[in-house]
Amino acid sequence: MSPLFPALRTADRKEALRFGEHALTYAELAGAAGALAGRIAGSGRVAVWATPTLETAVGVVAALLAGVPAVPLNPKTGERELAHILRDSAPTAVLAAPGEPLPPALAALTRIDVVPEAGSAADPPPAEPDDAESPALIVYTSGTTGPPKGAVLPRRAVAGTLDALAEVWAWTPDDVLVHALPLFHVHGLILGVLGPLRRGGSVRHLGRFSVEGVARELSTGATMLFGVPTMYHRIAESLDTDRELAKALAGARLLVSGSAALPVHDHRRIAAATGRTVIERYGMTETLMNTSVRVDGEPRPGTVGVPLPGVELRLADESDGIGEIQVRGPNLFSGYLNRPDATAAAFTEDGWFRTGDMASLDGDGYVRIVGRRATDLIKSGGYKIGAGEIENALLDHPGVREVAVTGEPDADLGERIVAWVVPADPQSPPTAEELAGHVAAQLSPHKRPRTVRFLETLPRNDMGKIMKRALGNGNG
């Protein structure tokens, strides 16, 4: 297979990566990542402590150059989830920024500091593995029940999805991407960092999202923005009062939203203030990108566009024009790590991947996502979160006797996690803050319930199964 990053071979002085004050040219990145690749070559798997920093980008590129599968870790992962991921992925080493404190769970691993200034551009980076099927990244993603599963993403899928996007977005080396997404998921890491590097373009990462940061970068040379709907919602909220922001967005070449549906209301507000239509693309950790509105196609808010080149898409078990999206193509993962059962269950007998997303098709093939098959999956802030994992964590809290978790509509987050709790002692129930803190510490802060409602009993059917649909206006 040809190299993932051709621009590292012709390493020049063009800026590749910028994180705040810290930047690297292609020549510097080739030097730093090449030197690190030499150090980690032959390691089984490496974990990457994925803070939103230059070090994370260099560490992941080094792993890809060395052909060592990288497991990006959310640095805010709580104890229980981190222990699970480490047990499951069994990395031999962890790559981290020098001085970055690491939790005790990582103490048994060899720590390798990522030094962006290291290495010499004079030494060419090592040859990348030829095998297109060799695993590039293992990205953890939640299901309805149980702990997150590691999606094994081969080099073929990473290259294929990025090249398909380049075609439909006319993405070139001249593009400068701005984003503020976390670097432990597909959106922020593969699309947001590896995408520009594969094209030989540039990326500027804001460290953390702010509307001001987006406006600043788009008015000083950035050409594209990638964000989740929560970010576009916050941008839409600011547009009325911020002329500079509207001007900056109007000047962008491409505004792309994904990871969850961008409400048509926010589409309209942004279009009205900037004259620009946000383009939506639809993907999944296991499939990388499936569809997108094309830059030369008709923008159609409320749809996620058409299948990407090379991706086959069908609707299964259609009723009233709505069916489950199933896909096939070079963009797909190789399977879940250590989970042949779950991998088999994810595919149909004839080899199509079941996304669990329900959609209809416009006459000309544009895909409209209308919901999800499993109501126990919640999308909050663009993060996929399983109700079951939160319920399990809450059941471990001594103040909780019974619990059900649902998602409720939220203008900012898309969906908000709601925990319905029967307290162990009705006289002194735990506080909502305590329960949110417990989930944040065990799983991850973005999985914490934003609302806690106390009940005397949970509604159950004759079989004893909790009837989530009977809980408030939850979608469960």
CB 251 within 8 A of CB 219: yes
Number of residues that bind ligand MCA (CB under 6 A): 25
Closest CA to 97 of 44, 32, 43, 150: 32
Smallest gap, in angstroms, from Cβ of residue 25 to ligand MCA? 27
Using CB under 6 A as the binding rule, whether residue 357 contacts ligand AMP is answered as yes
Q: How many CB atoms lie within 10 A of CB 135?
A: 23
Say if residues 474 and 408 touch (Cβ distance below 8 Å).
Answer: yes
Interface stretch with ligand AMP, choices 67-75, 113-121, 257-265, 341-349 (CB under 6 A): 257-265
- Nearest distance in Å: CB 227, ligand AMP: 11
Least gap, CB of 436 to ligand MCA (angstroms): 5
Q: Which residues contact 288 (CB under 8 A, 6 or more apart)?
A: 153, 157, 158, 160, 161, 186, 190, 331, 332, 333
Please give the full DSSP string across 13-80, using - where no structure is assigned. SSEEEEETTEEEEHHHHHHHHHHHHHHHTT-S-EEEE--SSHHHHHHHHHHHHHT--EEEE-TT--HH
Q: Quick one: 273 or 284, whose CB is closer to ligand AMP?
A: 284
Size of the site for ligand AMP (CB under 6 A): 18
Spatial distance between the Cα atoms of 3 and 197, rounded to a whole number of angstroms: 12
Out of 77, 259, 380, 392, the residue judged to bind ligand AMP by CB under 6 A: 259
Rounded Cα distance, 408 and 134, in Å: 40
CB 243 within 8 A of CB 213: no
Binder of residue 304, out of ligand MCA, ligand AMP, none (CB less than 5 to 8 A by kind) = ligand AMP
Token pair for 9: 């071979």
185 binds ligand MCA (CB under 6 A): yes
**Contact status: 299 vs ligand MCA (CB under 6 A):** no
> Is 76 a residue that touches ligand MCA (CB under 6 A)?
yes
- Beta carbons of 81 and 96 less than 8 angstroms apart: no
In the list 176, 260, 273, 413, the residue contacting ligand AMP (rule: CB under 6 A) is: 260
Binding partner at 357 among ligand MCA, ligand AMP, none, C-beta below 5 to 8 Å by kind:
ligand AMP
When the beta carbons of 139 and 214 are compared against ligand AMP, the nearer one is: 139
Contacts of 251 (CB under 8 A, 6+ apart): 218, 219
Among 182, 301, 329, 449, the residue binding ligand MCA under the rule CB under 6 A is 182
Rounded CA gap, 63 and 41, in Å?
Answer: 8
Judge contact between 459 and 423, C-beta under 8 A.
no
Residue ranges in 191-230 that form contacts with ligand MCA under rule CB under 6 A: 209, 228, 230
Using the rule CB under 6 A, give the single segment among 17-25, 277-285, 334-342, 455-463 that binds ligand AMP.
277-285
* Residues in 376-405 at the binding interface with ligand MCA, rule: CB under 6 A: 381-383
Report the SS3 class of residue 217. helix
Asked whether position 305 contacts ligand AMP by CB under 6 A, the answer is: no
Residues 275-294, interacting with ligand MCA (CB under 6 A) = 283-285
Using rule CB under 6 A, residue 232 touches ligand AMP: no
Q: Where do contacts with ligand MCA occur on this chain (CB under 6 A)?
A: 76, 181-182, 185-188, 209, 228, 230-231, 258-259, 283-285, 381-383, 436-437, 440, 445-446, 448
Q: Where do contacts with ligand AMP occur on this chain (CB under 6 A)?
A: 141, 186, 258-261, 280, 282-285, 304, 355, 357, 369, 372, 379, 384
